Structure 1
Amino acid sequence: MTIPQLSNDPGQQALYTLIQRSIANAGGWLGFDRFMALALYAPGMGYYANSLRKFGLTPESGSDFATAPEMSKHFGRTLAHQVAEALQVTGTDEVWEFGAGSGALALQLLDNLGDRVKRYTIVDLSGSLRARQQDTLKAHAHKVQWVDALPEQLSGVVVGNEVLDAMPVQLLVRKSGVWHERGVVWNADALSQRQAGVSPSDSEASANAASASPLQWEDRVTDLRPPMEVPGEHDYLTEIHSQAEAFVATLADRFKAGEAATGKGGAAFLIDYGFPEGEYFHPQRSMGTLMCHQFHKSDTDPLVDVGRKDITAHVNFTGVALAAQDAGLNVLGYTSQAHFLINCGLLPPLVDAPLDEKSMAQKLITEHEMGELFKVVALGTTEWEPMGFAQGDRTYAL
């Protein structure tokens, strides 16, 4: 089936075609998690698989958002202290990073860890990002390797900064007391009607019609439920995180296989924005946490300009912790990014740092910036207390 021209970008047009076919093959309705996977990761077309610039400090660079390593080199320098401790405890010399982005964090960790790391493995599905990472990490090329899937066994220290939030989620919506799963449908008639109603003399309306999408929401009654009851009868939109929890369970299996084969265990440090379950499914959080990012602006419509903007959801850290425990890992700690970085020694080197460095590093720990919204959870094959959780551990809140 030929679909209407929705974009002047051949890659984006191909992505719309792929999504239309996927919806048709699924019987006319595609769960949001499957749509999100295509929008972000379809080879060569999805947001993280195409050549668009994503990471940067300002929209003038053509980027969409900045992560902590782009903001301050002191993020990776500080995290390196924790990774070094974990390497010593696990008796390993390999670091694994998931979703390495621009490569900024890898560079900071490698620069600061030195000979304590013999091999640094990046797990990333994006060919364009891999090329950028290779350029960034030229000085450490002899240590770095790239893979697109986990091996059957794994030992070492895993790092994931803003990885869980980009894993596809299912959307649940309670309407008039009945739970539905929200999915995506293709409504070509709606697109045709919108385009047909545009006057050629109205340039603004014509531009809007050209960018219009036939993708629309459709809700279906479901047996799925959030992991805890949401009090009240009001309409309520939220997310469930099956893929993130499955990722953690798979990581646990690989760690255990690695430990059985080599006698050496593993530890993982996952950093992201999110909440424990009680806050995540608070009755007042009735619009969910789904968010898109483009040119350093946020919006809540993932069905528009597909493939050109990021789609994320906040992390349910209780679900992550329970999935890890159920798979045999220990939850070693959970706290805010501010507590974690301060515990790991962020502040002393900033005393003599230039003012601009101090200012950017402060954003990492300030409550109204990244300090409180971002959390850190640590998982491991053996039980120990990482330095990042020495003060302010909130594992009790999960």
Structure 2
Amino acid sequence: MQLQLPQPSPDALSASHALQNLIAEEIRRHDGWISFARYMELALYAPDVGYYSGGAAKLGKDGDFTTAPEITSLFGETLAHAAGELMAQSVPQILEFGAGTGKLALDILTECAAAGIPLESYSIVELSGELRARQQQTLANFPQVKWLDDFPAAYSGVVLGNEVLDAMPVSLVVKSESGWLERGVGFDDGKFVFVDQPCDAALVAQIPYEEELSVGYLTEVHPIAVGFMGTLASMLAAGLEQTGKGGAAILLDYGFPASEYYLDQRSAGTLMCHYRHHSHPDPFYLPGLQDITAHVDFTAMAYAAVNNGLEMLGYMSQAAFLLTASLGDRLLKTSPEDARAYLPQANAVQKLTSPAEMGELFKVLVVGLDVQLPARFDRADQTRRL
């Protein structure tokens, strides 16, 4: 398939070629085959040349995709109040994973200051040097912000992850007449190609409904995201032991419960690539210059959290979460009579909450220890669907 996409600059093309050579050498060192998860890890995170570790703009109008915080500050303002209600039961601090341009942190910090929500520290775990530099510039006026290279060993407070789980490397599996195969990556005639080999039993064990799926069914499994949830659980448990205070994680992303993730209509999987606001399915196109993502299996994430000792606090659509968290009240702080100011905000709220936009595809998973979402979230909760 020939993709008709914008041409990269010579420097960007050179960086992509360097990454392609690095991945090809990795494949050669491993007898001509690496897992797709390893390919995706290198494409996104290889030092200096991976998509998230290189220097290209990723977010906003000049990047490859736009996230909710880039659409409107109302998103961060609403999350500030939701986080504030959880921090009141815990410790007044926030830990954000993958903070993008820093816009979400900026909006939360600004709203906390304006609304009198106590927030003593805001920590960011960021793997991208380029994004960390942008964040440091954006958040220069907030001395309570600090950057970390990894999970703290123990933590109490609120953890935020907006579109973090979807960027974690996934394994690809396909069902054959003889059983499940792992779809990995080889290098042939100067090109990356998919190569299948027998699937490890541990990987097969992570495929829900595996006996019911038809021959030829291709899907993703999420061992790295499952591992992330386990580490998150350990961190919050250690925080509770250390401080006597629990904590909660609010994870927002696009995806489905397992009963919808593995429907017949998704027999080709959910893997998707984003390049200059174009979406396409080819993960081998210009490695390092495009994002590679997969939808999140929220059932797997919830089970990983609970099996590692966390409590399910809530699962709902992004629309239900934001509206229950008073997004509408935030909008009405701008008078509808001031059409020039109000209409762009109303359009942004529509994008965040409409079922045709982000409202239903994006979900919110809240897990934690020794804290609870306010009772008003009960009517929005859809944990039973997991």
TM-score, length-scaled by structure 1: 0.88
Secondary structure of 2:44's partner?
Answer: helix
Is 1:377 paired with 2:365?
Answer: yes
Matches within 5 A, 1:39-54: 39-54=43-58
Cα distance in structure 2, aligned partners of 1:294 and 1:155: 37
Q: 1:311 to 1:346 in 2, by over 3 A?
A: same
Contact 2:247 2:371 in 1 (8 A): no
Cα distance in structure 1, aligned partners of 2:353 and 2:375: 17
Q: Tell me which residue corresponds to 2:287.
A: 306
Q: CA deviation at 1:258?
A: 1.3
One-letter code aligned to 1:361? V
Is 1:105 paired with 2:93?
Answer: no
Stretches of structure 2 lacking an aligned partner (at least 5 in a row): 1-9, 337-341
Q: CA deviation at 1:17?
A: 2.0
Q: CA deviation at 1:218?
A: 0.4
Secondary structure of 2:357's partner?
Answer: helix
Identity %: 47
Stretches of structure 1 lacking an aligned partner (at least 5 in a row): 1-6, 192-213
RMSD: 1.5
Aligned pair count reads 362
Deviates more, 1:346-355 or 1:45-54: 346-355
Q: CA deviation at 1:112?
A: 0.9
Secondary structure of 1:347's partner?
Answer: helix
Q: CA deviation at 1:100?
A: 0.2
TM-score, length-scaled by structure 2: 0.91
Matches within 5 A, 1:222-241: 222=199, 223=201, 224-225=203-204, 226-229=207-210, 231-241=212-222
Cα distance in structure 2, aligned partners of 1:157 and 1:383: 10
Cα distance in structure 1, aligned partners of 2:364 and 2:178: 35
Matches within 5 A, 1:290-305: 290-305=271-286
Give structure 1 regions of 4+ aligned residues with deviation exceeding 4 angstroms: none
Cα distance in structure 1, aligned partners of 2:210 and 2:192: 31
Cα distance in structure 1, aligned partners of 2:54 and 2:309: 36
Contact 1:93 1:116 in 2 (8 A): yes
Q: Tell me which residue corresponds to 1:94.
A: 93
Secondary structure of 2:83's partner?
Answer: helix
Q: Tell me which residue corresponds to 1:69.
A: 69
Q: Tell me which residue corresponds to 1:133.
A: 135
Q: Tell me which residue corresponds to 2:42.
A: 38
Secondary structure of 1:76's partner?
Answer: helix
Cα distance in structure 2, aligned partners of 1:338 and 1:218: 40
Contact 1:276 1:316 in 2 (8 A): yes
One-letter code aligned to 2:154? Q
Secondary structure of 1:66's partner?
Answer: coil
Q: 1:239 to 1:185 in 2, by over 3 A?
A: same
Cα distance in structure 2, aligned partners of 1:137 and 1:238: 39
One-letter code aligned to 1:98? F
Q: Tell me which residue corresponds to 1:203.
A: none
Cα distance in structure 2, aligned partners of 1:386 and 1:279: 28
Cα distance in structure 2, aligned partners of 1:20 and 1:139: 44
Higher Cα Rg, which structure:
1
Q: 1:250 to 1:332 in 2, by over 3 A?
A: same
Deviations 1:200-224 (A, max 9, x none): xxxxxxxxxxxxxx11110112133
Q: CA deviation at 1:231?
A: 2.5
Secondary structure of 1:372's partner?
Answer: coil
> In the alignment, which of 237, 257, 275 is matched to residue 276 of structure 1?
257
Contact 1:269 1:377 in 2 (8 A): yes
Matches within 5 A, 1:222-261: 222=199, 223=201, 224-225=203-204, 226-229=207-210, 231-261=212-242
Q: CA deviation at 1:361?
A: 1.6
Q: Tell me which residue corresponds to 2:195.
A: 218
Contact 1:80 1:112 in 2 (8 A): yes
